[in-house]
């Protein structure tokens, strides 16, 4: 039995199931990260002293990571647009590019974390580092999650393009929405943690 | 709109333009950091630039500039709850608990909010 409105849109909402589903999921993600940003505000305003981000973290690495994620958002939307224009090969390369840019972001994050941890500066070291590791750690987990989904659509999930191209395009669109949200979170994380 | 291949082809230029704009705003964000503004001004400026960048991502990349009512409805509800969530830190300082404490024995309470 086929689930209705997987591909065709509902006449009342004008949406397919997945489109409303992914937006509702992103709404929950807004509250998740919002809670942590709220925590950051409480911790910072309640502290006698709070370090300047640039004194604790590397602004150049943070800026490079911002450029990487923005670029990955561009390649992600281009992957979807290529599919809409029926160019599967271009789509595949843009999706691979998105995956690789995300990978480089995680590599940078690894070196950042390793540098702190090698000096004994883990989350236990200060309130600032505690919220830094929590926020960026949760964000990094979301990056990994996105990469897993992308890897699926680059590899084993790509067959859906031949069987049901419309459904495949929808799934890439939903993946893109998630990925742009992850980029959006970093757009706020970078200035809050690195520059303030 | 995006079911039309030609419309998507035209949107590609917009995507690339917005991508470039996002990179420019990132440079502006980092450059503003070197102005060494007072903390409240620096925070305000950084959040304004971040909000502009986020709006561009949401409107163009996430196609929110031409979405359906149900998506807008879900997001308006989310924004309302998000505003409440961000306002919670204010509620922690809006009561008068601890304000009557003064003197050397309670110096820590008096200077509690001085460091940010």
Q: Which residue has the tokens 């049901």?
A: A164
The answer on B81 and B45 residing in a single domain is no
The answer on B9 and B60 residing in a single domain is yes
The answer on B57 and B2 residing in a single domain is yes
Given a cut of 80, whether residue B16 has pLDDT beyond it is yes
Asked whether the beta carbons of residue A196 and residue B42 sit closer than 8 angstroms, the reply is: yes
Nearest residue to A141 (alpha-carbon basis) of A22, A27, A32 = A32
Q: Are B99 and A51 in contact (CB under 8 A)?
A: no
The answer on B58 and B80 residing in a single domain is no
Q: How confident is the model at residue A63 (pLDDT cuts 50, 70, 90)?
A: very high
Nearest residue to A113 (alpha-carbon basis) of A94, A90, A141 = A141
Chain A CB contacts of B74 below 8 Å: 20, 23-24, 27
The answer on B76 and B53 residing in a single domain is no
The answer on B5 and B60 residing in a single domain is yes
Of 1.20.120.80, 1.10.3130.10, 2.30.29.30, 3.40.50.2300, the CATH number of A17-195 is 1.20.120.80
Q: Are A132 and A30 in contact (CB under 8 A)?
A: no
The answer on B86 and B55 residing in a single domain is no
Please state, for a pLDDT cut of 90, what percent of chain A lies above it.
92
Nearest residue to A66 (alpha-carbon basis) of B31, B15, B26, B54 = B26
The tens digit of pLDDT for each residue in A66-117 reads: 999 999 999 999 999 999 999 999 999 999 999 999 999 999 999 999 999 9
What does the radius of gyration of chain A's CA atoms come to, in whole angstroms? 19
**Residue A142 DSSP one-character state:** H
- Which value, to the nearest 10 degrees, does the dihedral of the CA atoms of residues A43, A56, A122, A141 take? 80
Asked whether the beta carbons of residue B75 and residue A23 sit closer than 8 angstroms, the reply is: yes
| Closest in B19, B22, B74 to A24, CB measured | B74
The answer on B53 and B11 residing in a single domain is yes
Q: Which residue has the tokens 């271009």?
A: A90
The answer on B61 and B80 residing in a single domain is no
Which ipTM score applies to this complex?
0.91
The answer on B37 and B82 residing in a single domain is no
Chain B CB contacts of A195 below 8 Å: 29-30, 32-33, 42, 46
Nearest residue to A77 (alpha-carbon basis) of A179, A167, A2 = A179
What is the Cα–Cα distance from B116 to B108, expressed in whole angstroms?
15
Chain A CB contacts of B26 below 8 Å: 63, 66-67, 70
pLDDT at B37: 87
- How many folded domains does chain B comprise? 2
What is the Cα–Cα distance from A186 to B7, expressed in whole angstroms?
30
The tens digit of pLDDT for each residue in B57-79 reads: 999 999 999 999 999 999 999 99
Chain A CB contacts of B33 below 8 Å: 54, 59, 195
Asked whether the beta carbons of residue B112 and residue A34 sit closer than 8 angstroms, the reply is: no
With 0-12 / 13-18 / 19 or more C-beta atoms within 10 angstroms meaning exposed / middle / buried, residue A102 is buried
pLDDT at B109: 46
Min Cα–Cα distance to chain B from A21, Å: 10
Asked whether the beta carbons of residue B22 and residue A70 sit closer than 8 angstroms, the reply is: yes
Residues belonging to chain B: 116
Map out the domains of chain A as residue ranges: 17-195
Which residues form the domain of B52? 1-67
Mutation pick from A17, A66, A67, A97 vs chain B, by most beta carbons of B within 10 Å, is: A66
């Amino acid at each position: 039995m086929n689930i209705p409105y997987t591909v065709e849109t509902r006449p009342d909402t004008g949406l397919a199931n997945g489109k409303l589903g992914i937006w509702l999921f992103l709404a929950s993600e807004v509250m998740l990260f919002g809670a942590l940003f709220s925590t950051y505000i409480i911790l910072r305003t309640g502290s006698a002293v709070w370090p300047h981000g640039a004194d604790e973290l590397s602004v150049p690495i943070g800026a490079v990571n911002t450029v990487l994620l923005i670029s990955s958002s561009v390649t992600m939307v281009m992957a979807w647009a290529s599919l809409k224009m029926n160019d599967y090969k271009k789509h595949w390369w843009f999706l691979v590019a998105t995956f690789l840019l995300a990978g480089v972001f995680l590599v940078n994050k690894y070196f950042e974390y390793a540098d702190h941890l090698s000096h004994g500066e883990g989350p236990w070291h200060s309130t600032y580092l505690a919220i830094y590791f929590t926020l960026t750690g949760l964000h990094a987990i979301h990056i990994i999650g996105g990469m897993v989904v992308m890897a699926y659509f680059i590899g084993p999930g790509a067959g859906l393009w031949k069987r049901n191209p419309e459904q495949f395009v929808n799934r890439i669109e939903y993946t893109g929405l998630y990925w742009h949200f992850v980029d959006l979170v970093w757009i706020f994380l970078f200035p809050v943690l690195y520059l303030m | 709109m995006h079911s039309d291949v030609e419309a998507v082809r035209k949107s590609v230029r917009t995507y690339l333009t917005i991508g470039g704009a996002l990179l420019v705003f990132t440079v502006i964000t980092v450059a503003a950091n070197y102005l060494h503004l007072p903390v409240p001004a620096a925070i305000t400026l950084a959040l304004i630039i971040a909000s502009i960048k986020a709006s561009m991502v949401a409107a163009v990349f996430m196609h929110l500039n031409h979405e359906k009512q149900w998506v807008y409805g879900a997001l308006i509800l989310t924004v309302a709850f998000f505003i409440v969530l961000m306002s919670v830190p204010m509620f922690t300082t809006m009561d008068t608990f601890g304000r009557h404490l003064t003197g050397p024995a309670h110096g820590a309470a008096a200077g509690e909010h001085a460091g940010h």
